[in-house]
Amino acid sequence: MAADLTTTFTGIRFPNPFLLSSAPPTESESNILRAFEAGWGGVVTKTIGLHPVVNVAGPKTKFLRSNPSGGLSMNKGREGVLHSSWNWELISDKPLDWWAPRLGRIKKAFPDRVLIASIMAGSGSDKELANWQALARACQDEGADGLELNLSCPHMDREDMGSNIGKDQKLCSRVTQVVKEVSKIPVWSKLTPSTTDIAMEAGAVFAGGGDAVVSSNTFPSLPLIDPETLEFEMNVDGLVSSGGLGGPAILPQSLAKMAQMTRAFPEKSFSGIGGISDFSQALNFILLGCGTVQVCTAAMLDHAVGPNVIRRLISGMTEFLDKNSHRGWRQLEDFRGLSREKVVGHSHIRRPEDSDYHGGYEAYEGYAEPAEKR
């Protein structure tokens, strides 16, 4: 039978499981329409808020590359191999009144594609929590298929916004619950990787009624310092603040965070992000249990919305399913989570047969005495 790229995730039917994530590529109506024309199964809008946003006076995103000598730089050797992206861009600087009619027009133009509205508000008061509900109502009324709660932006000054919510289990649960109270469409919560055990925050989201967890957002980081000028490679008036690291460099870290969550909640829904540019990387997230995957950096470098990236993803998945048709695999659900249980605690990895290892503890501390040899 022919490969089937359609999938159902949190009750939403996708023509394929590949989404353009909430980022600069999804900041405008024209970009989102181009993304759907290119073949993306879904798009998550640039995060919509109620508070006014003004970005820094200078570049908001740059790409770190390695040069032939092994050095890393954002400003030298642009033909080098991509290492990562770095940004300190805030959420959309367009107001809700700007976004609302455009969401409606996009859905009318592409009714068979999935449009997820990313939203963000504060959490420090009942008024701020009500803002989440106002955003949710406005977006669903215009036809959005789902909501993605931004609990993960890594460069927010406010203590009750962005990743500062995503690091707090109580706030993760509360914000998700508040949105679920008014939402008629699925609610996903996007978490920050900047936490000790992300499974704890994922559990809080699900306790609040969340339909899915999305991870990882970019990792908090700083740009490198140029050894000649002694200036940060990205700065305004010589100053810099923490920004977000994305792209190929974060793929292994994002996979580790995802494995923590999917092993803790194997029956729940997850959308994976971090370093994906072709199907071999997307496959990692699917094998760990993700039902959809999202792409940002690779798309930004490919005509802003990734027409070649989505083409590679679709052809890669089709080829993978055809190659494994003898296993009876014809759609994502046939192999999703296949590798999840292979991620175990360090002490569960086999040692040489003659070793006597107790996970770093003395034998009498929680370990059974070895059986006597006969």
The residues annotated as belonging to the active site are 153
With contact defined as beta carbons under 8 Å apart, do 297 and 250 qualify?
no
How far apart are alpha carbons 202 and 265 in whole angstroms?
9
Strand segments (E) across 114-218: 114-119, 146-151, 187-191, 212-215
How far apart are alpha carbons 276 and 19 in whole angstroms?
11
CA nearest to 305, candidates 35, 2, 84: 35
Residue pointed to by tokens 């390695």? 66
With contact defined as beta carbons under 8 Å apart, do 45 and 117 qualify?
yes
Q: Output the six-digit token pair for 297.
A: 């950096």
Helix (H, G, I), strand (E, B) or coil at 31: helix
How far apart are alpha carbons 215 and 44 in whole angstroms?
13
How far apart are alpha carbons 63 and 69 in whole angstroms?
18
How far apart are alpha carbons 311 and 278 in whole angstroms?
9
The terminus-to-terminus CA distance of the chain in angstroms comes to 57
How far apart are alpha carbons 93 and 101 in whole angstroms?
16
For the CA atoms of 208, 211, 213, 214, the dihedral, rounded to the nearest 10 degrees, stands at: -130
Q: Output the six-digit token pair for 294.
A: 């999202």
How far apart are alpha carbons 213 and 176 in whole angstroms?
11
Helix (H, G, I), strand (E, B) or coil at 172: helix
